[in-house]
Amino acid sequence: MIEVQRLRKTFNKGKVVAVDEVSFSARDGQITGLLGPNGAGKTTTLRMLYTLLSPDSGQMRIDGIDPAAEPLKVKQALGVVPDSRGLYDRLSARENIRYYGRLQGLAKADIAERIERLADVLDMHEFIDRKTNGFSQGQRVKVAIARALIHEPRTVLLDEPTNGLDVMTTRALRGFLQQLKAEGRCVVLSTHIMQEVAALCDRIVIIAKGRVMAEGTADELLRRSGRDNLEDAFVQLIGSDEGLLA
Amino acid sequence: MMSVFAKEVLDNFRDRRVILNTLILGPLLGPVIFTVMISFMTSQATERMESALELPVIGAENAPALIGFLEREGVIIEAPPEDPEGAVKREEEEIILRIPADFGAAWRAGQPAPLELIADQSLRYTGTTISRVRGYLNGYASQISQARLQLRGVHPEITRPLQVSVVDLSTPESRGGMLLAFLPYFIMITVFMGSMHMAIDTTAGERERKSLEPLLINPLPRWQIMAGKLLATTLFALMTLALGLVAFVLAMGFLPTADMDMALNLDFRVAALAFILVAPVALLAAALLTILASFAKSFREAQSYMGMVILVPMIPSFWIMIDPTRTETWMTLVPLLSQNVLILGLVRGEPLNMAWLAMSIGSTTVLALLLAAIAGTLYNRPKLIFTSD
C-alpha cells in the first residue's frame, strides 16, 4: 500500500520542477501504472519512494512507514527494479542475486532456497550460474527482478521494466507481474507505453510535466476524456502527444 | 558491511586486470626499477673511479714535463679533436686539457702558468672526471711548489698551516642509506598502486556499470556500504605492500653491495617493521583514492585523476633528497613524511625509536580515518549516485 500526497521535488535550486504536487495511491493486490511521456517525473517520483532522493515537500507512506523518517525500514519493505539494472559482470547471476540477499540480511539457506524458486518462476535455470557479462537484455532484467525480490517484499516498484525487451520476454514479464498481484502484493510500474498499462494495470496514474493529470481505471479514464480508445484518451488528458512515440 | 567487503574481494579477484596490475606489476615495479637504478649507478661510479683516465690534450708540446708527470701517473694522453669545444658539447669528449702557448713563458718567469679544462659541468657524471684531472694537476703543482721552496731553503711544511682530516663515522649501513633515499617512495607507491584499481572499480566502476543505484536501495546505511568497499580496497593495498616488501628483500640479493662498500639493512625483520609502519598508509591511500574516484563518472575519468595522486607520496621523498636533515620529532607526526624518514632510519640500521613509530602510526591512522569518514558521507549526495542526471 503506497500513499503519496502533494509530493514536490525541484532541481537546480528550485529552477527545474521535476515533480509538482503529485498525489496518488497504489493498493495491495493491484498493479498500478505510472504512465507518462519521458521526462514527466516518473523516475523522480519512484526515487523519492525508494529514498534515493528526498522530496522538497509532501507526504509519502509505504505500508504506513515514512521513507524520510525510516529509510532502512522502507527499503526492507520495498523490492525495486530501477531504471539502471547494472549487474556485476564478473559474478554469475546466482552470485549477483545472493549478494543482494546478503545485503538484505537474509540467512544463507533462505537465500539459496529463494534463488531456486525465483529461477523456476522467471525461467532462469539455463543461465543462473553463468557470468552475466554476455547476458541479453531479457536475461539482465530477470536477474535484476530476482535480486529485487529476494527478500519477498510486499511492495514492488519497477521503473520502465519492459525497456529493451523483446515481445516474448515482455509477455513472460507481464505474466510474472500478474502472479505478484495474485499473491496480494502492491505492484507499481512506470512506463511510457500505453499498451502496457492497458494490458496490465488495474489503476492508471497519468503524469505529465511533473503533475498528475488523471487517475483511475482504464474505463474511468476513457469516460472522463470522452474518447473510445486509451491512446486518444491519453493524448487528451496530458494535452499533447509529445513524448508518446519515444 | 562484511557482505559488501566479501563481494568486492570476490568480484575483483575475478578480474585478471586487477590481479595483473595490483598483485604482480604493483609489487614488482618498485624493486625492479630500484635494483636496476642502483646497480647502474654503482657500476658507473666504480667504472669511472677505477678505469684509466683518457685525457685529450691541446698543446701538449708546451709543457712536456707536465705531460710526463701525467703519463707516469697512468693517464693516457690523447691527441685533441679538431674542434675541442664542439666535441665536449656533443658529448664526444668529457674533458679536454688545453695548455696555452704562453705556459712555458709564465712558468719560466715564476708566475702561475695558465691551464684550461674544457668540460660541461652541467653533465652530472663529469664532476667525477673533473675532480680526477684536478687531483693529478694539484699533485703536480704541489710537487713543483715544494721543490721550489726547498730550492730557496724554505721548509715546505710552512705553506701548510692546516692539516685537515675527516674522521668518517658513517657505517656501511648509513652509506647505503644515502643511496637508498628513494626506497621509501618505492615502498609507498606500491600501496597507492595496490589500492588504485580497486578504488576506481568499487566507485566510478559501479557508476559506469549503473549498479550503484540498485545497490543503494538495499537496507543498510550508506556509510556501511562505503566502509565495506574501503576495507576491500585496503586489503588489496596491504597485499600489494606485503608482496612488494618481499620482492624488495629478494631484490636486495641482486644488488652489488660489495662493490658499493655498504650494507643495505633490508632483511625480512626490517621488512616486517616497514609493513607495520606503512600499513596505516594503506587505509590512507584507499580512502583518498576512493574519495577522488567517487566523483568520477567513469573508469577512464577516474584514472585521469589518479595520475596526479601518485605524485603525492613522492613529495616527501624529494624533499628528503634535497634537504637530508636528521629526523626530528615533528617529522614523525606528518603522514607520508614520517614513513619516509623512519624507513630510511631502518635501512640505515639505526635503532627504532618506539615513540616515533607510535606517533607515525597514530597520526597517519587519524588522517586516514578522517578521510574514510568523509568517504562514508559521499553516498548521501544524489549527484554522486545517478549516472544520468
Please give the Cα distance from B249 to A135 (Å, whole number). Answer: 46
Is A103 close to B382, i.e. CB distance below 8 A? Answer: no
What is the per-residue pLDDT across A182-233, written as a single tens digit (0 to 9) for each? 999 999 999 988 888 888 999 999 998 889 988 898 888 888 888 887 778 8
Contact A197, A191 (CB under 8 A): yes
Asked if residue A106 belongs to a domain, the reply is no
d(CA B21, CA A151): 37
Domain count, chain A: 1
Domains of chain B with bracketed CATH: 2-42+172-384 (no CATH), 52-159 (3.40.190)
Residue A81 lies in a domain: yes
Could you give the CA distance from residue A23 to residue A34 in angstroms, rounded to a whole number? 12
Residue at B63: amino acid letter: A
- pLDDT, residue B5, reads 85
What pLDDT was estimated at residue B263? 60
For A76-94, write each residue's pLDDT tens digit: 999 999 988 889 999 999 9
How many CB atoms are located within 10 Å of the residue B218 CB?
25
Candidates A11, A84, A103; nearest CB to B213: A84
CB B249, CB B243: distance < 8 Å:
no
Q: Which of A11, A82, A95 sits opposite B214 (nearest CB)?
A: A82
Contact B210 A144 (CB under 8 A): no
What are the chain B neighbours of A99 within 8 Å (beta carbons)?
A: 3, 7
pTM surpassing 0.80?
no
Task: Quote the pLDDT of residue A245.
Answer: 45
Q: How far apart are CA B379 and CA B371, in angstroms?
A: 14
Within-domain flag for A221: yes
Asked if B134 contacts B310 with a C-beta cutoff of 8 angstroms, the reply is no
Residue A180 lies in a domain: yes
Residue B364 confidence (pLDDT) above 80: yes
- The pLDDT, as a whole number, for residue B389 is 43
Assigned C-alpha cell, B239: 597485499
The SS3 call for residue A38 is: coil
B381 touching A, CB under 8 A? no
The B95-98 sheet, strands edge to edge: B76-78, B54-58, B95-98, B116-119
The answer to whether the CB of A149 falls within 8 A of the CB of A183 is no
- Of residues A53, A75, A85, nearest to B218 (C-beta): A75
- pLDDT band at B178, cuts 50/70/90? low
Beta-sheet strand order (sheet of A186-191): A78-81, A155-159, A186-191, A31-35, A203-208, A211-216
Phi, psi of A80 (to 5 degrees): -125, 130
Q: Is the dihedral of CA B233, B196, B181, B326 positive or negative?
A: negative
Q: Determine, yes or no, domain membership for A148.
A: no
| Interface contact A99-B3, CB threshold 8 A | yes
The domain spanning residue A10 has which CATH number? 3.40.50.300
Q: Is residue A25 part of a domain?
A: yes
What is the three-class DSSP state of B262?
A: coil
Which residue range(s) make up the domain with A217?
Answer: 2-90+153-238
- Residue B332 in contact with residue B360, Cβ under 8 Å? yes
In the block, residue with C-alpha cell 500513499? A3
Does the residue A243 lie in any domain? no
Residue A191 lies in a domain: yes
Whose cell is 603522514? That residue is B335
pLDDT tens, position by position, for chain A (246 residues)? 999 999 999 988 888 889 999 999 999 999 999 998 888 899 999 999 999 889 999 999 999 999 989 999 999 999 999 988 889 999 999 999 999 999 999 999 999 999 999 999 898 999 999 999 989 988 999 999 999 999 999 999 999 988 888 888 888 899 999 999 999 999 999 998 888 888 899 999 999 888 998 889 888 888 888 888 777 888 887 776 554 544
**Percent of residues, chain B, with pLDDT higher than 90:** 14
Q: How far apart are CA B229 and CA B7, in angstroms?
A: 9
Q: Which residue from A52, A73, A88 is facing B216, i.e. has the nearest CB?
A: A52
Query: What is the tally of helices (H) and strands (E) in chain A?
Result: 9, 9
Whether the CB of B297 is below 8 Å from some CB of chain A: the reply is: no
Chain A nearest CA to B15, separation (Å): 7
Q: Compute the average pLDDT of residues B342-361.
A: 85
